[in-house]
C-alpha cells in the first residue's frame, strides 16, 4: 500500500514558485518498517549536469509529535538554489526510547546517502538541519559519529549543520534550568520533561548532548545555530553550542532573530526579507560552494 502511494504521488509538480519541483512522497527507508519510517524528496525539475547537494531536514514536535510535511518554504528555496530537499519522519516518544528515535533518523540519512544519486543528489554534500527537537537531533548526528557510522555515513560527507531554536544541545544544563525555575516559582515538577524524555539517567543526559561530543579531528561540519532572541533558553543553548564548536576550531555562528517566536522563526525561513533567511542562504552558499 505504501509503495502504491509513492507511485501515485511521486509525479506531482509544485508550481507555486519559479522553480518547479517533483515531490516523491512516503519513500520507506527501512525494510518492513513502521509507518513512520518514511521520507519525502523534493527534486527540482530543472535539469542539472552535476549531482545536486542535499538538505536533510528533521521536523520538531518535542520528540512526541510533528511530521515531515512541516517544511514551510524550505523546499522551494532549495529548488531555487538547485538543491535537493529531503524531509524525514521518525518514531516518537513515548512509543520508543530516545536511542531508537535517534537511530531512526540516522537510518533515514543512511538511506539517503545510499540512494540519493538515483534522484540526482550528491551523497558527499549533505547539510543536516532541523527545528526544535529536530535541532537536537541534527546536532547530535553532526557531532557524535557513532550514530551515522552504523549506517556507513562518514562525517566528512556532512558539509553543514543548521539547528533551529533548539534548547537541548547541553541537556544537563536545560534540565537544571527548567527544574530550578519551577522550584523558585512554585511550579509543578514535570512528569515527562527533558529529564524523562532523555532517559532519566544523568549519563544518558550527557551522552545525548551534542556539546559532549565536540572535539577536533572528527570532521564535524560548520554550524549555523538560529534562535529566537526572546527565549533565554534557546539563546543560552545556541551560544553554549557555538562556544564549544569554536573552542574546537570548528566554524560556528549563533544568530538570534527578534520579533518572532519559536514556530514563526522556522516558518519564515525562505522569506526574502527575513534576516534569518539571509543567514541561512549565506551559510548554504559558504559550505556547499
What is the predicted pLDDT for the residue at 18? Answer: 52
Which residues have C-beta within 8 Å of that of residue 150, sequence separation ≥ 6?
103, 106, 110
Q: Pairing between strand 52-58 and 121-131?
A: parallel
Cell of 285: 552558499
What is the predicted pLDDT for the residue at 24? Answer: 98
For residues 278 and 281, what is the distance between their CA atoms, to the nearest angstrom?
5
What is the predicted pLDDT for the residue at 10? Answer: 36
For residues 36 and 68, what is the distance between their CA atoms, to the nearest angstrom?
10
135, 102 Cβ separation under 8 angstroms: no
What is the predicted pLDDT for the residue at 1? Answer: 40
Q: What is the DSSP letter of 189?
A: P
Tens digits of pLDDT across the chain (289 residues): 444 333 333 333 443 445 789 999 999 999 999 999 999 999 999 999 999 999 999 999 999 999 999 999 999 999 999 999 999 999 999 999 999 999 999 999 999 999 999 999 999 999 999 999 999 999 999 999 999 999 999 999 999 999 999 999 999 999 999 999 999 998 899 999 999 999 999 999 999 999 999 999 999 999 999 999 999 999 999 999 999 999 999 999 999 999 999 999 999 999 999 999 999 999 999 999 8
What is the predicted pLDDT for the residue at 12? Answer: 38
Which residues have C-beta within 8 Å of that of residue 192, sequence separation ≥ 6?
94
What is the predicted pLDDT for the residue at 96? Answer: 98
DSSP bridge pairs for 38: 28
DSSP bridge pairs for 127: 55, 160
List, in order of start, the domains of the chain with CATH numbers. 2-170+209-288 (3.40.50.1820)
What is the predicted pLDDT for the residue at 5? Answer: 39
Cell of 147: 550514530
Q: What is the DSSP letter of 98?
A: H
For residues 19 and 182, what is the distance between their CA atoms, to the nearest angstrom?
48
Amino acid at each position: 500500500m505504501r509503495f502504491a502511494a509513492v507511485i501515485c504521488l511521486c509525479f506531482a509538480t509544485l508550481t507555486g514558485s519559479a522553480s518547479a519541483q517533483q515531490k516523491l512522497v512516503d519513500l520507506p527507508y527501512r525494510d518492513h518498517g513502521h509507518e513512520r519510517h518514511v521520507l519525502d524528496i523534493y527534486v527540482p525539475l530543472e535539469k542539472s549536469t552535476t549531482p545536486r547537494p542535499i538538505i536533510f531536514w528533521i521536523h520538531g514536535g518535542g520528540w512526541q509529535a510533528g511530521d515531515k510535511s512541516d517544511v514551510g518554504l524550505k523546499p522551494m528555496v532549495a529548488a531555487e538554489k538547485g538543491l535537493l530537499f529531503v524531509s524525514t519522519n521518525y518514531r516518537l516518544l513515548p512509543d520508543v526510547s530516545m536511542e531508537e528515535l535517534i537511530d531512526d533518523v540516522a537510518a533515514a540519512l543512511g538511506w539517503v546517502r545510499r540512494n540519493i544519486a538515483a534522484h540526482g543528489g550528491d551523497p558527499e554534500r549533505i547539510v543536516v538541519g532541523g527545528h526544535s527537537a529536530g535541532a537536537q537531533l541534527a546536532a547530535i548526528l553532526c557531532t557524535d559519529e557513532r550514530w551515522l557510522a552504523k549506517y556507513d555515513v562518514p562525517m566528512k560527507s556532512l558539509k553543514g549543520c543548521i539547528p533551529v531554536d533548539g534548547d537541548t544541545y547541553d541537556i544537563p544544563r536545560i534540565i537544571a534550568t527548567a527544574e530550578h525555575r519551577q522550584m523558585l516559582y512554585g511550579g509543578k515538577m514535570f512528569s515527562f520533561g527533558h529529564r524523562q524524555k532523555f532517559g532519566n539517567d544523568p549519563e544518558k543526559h550527557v551522552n545525548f548532548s551534542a556539546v559532549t561530543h565536540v572535539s577536533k579531528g572528527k570532521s564535524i561540519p560548520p554550524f549555523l545555530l538560529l534562535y529566537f532572541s526572546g527565549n533565554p533558553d534557546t539563546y543560552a543553548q545556541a551560544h553554549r553550542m557555538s562556544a564549544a564548536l569554536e573552542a574546537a576550531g570548528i566554524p560556528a555562528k549563533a544568530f538570534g532573530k527578534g520579533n518572532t517566536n519559536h514556530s514563526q522563526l522556522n516558518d519564515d525561513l525562505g522569506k526574502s526579507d527575513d534576516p534569518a533567511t539571509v543567514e541561512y542562504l549565506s551559510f548554504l552558499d559558504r559550505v556547499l560552494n
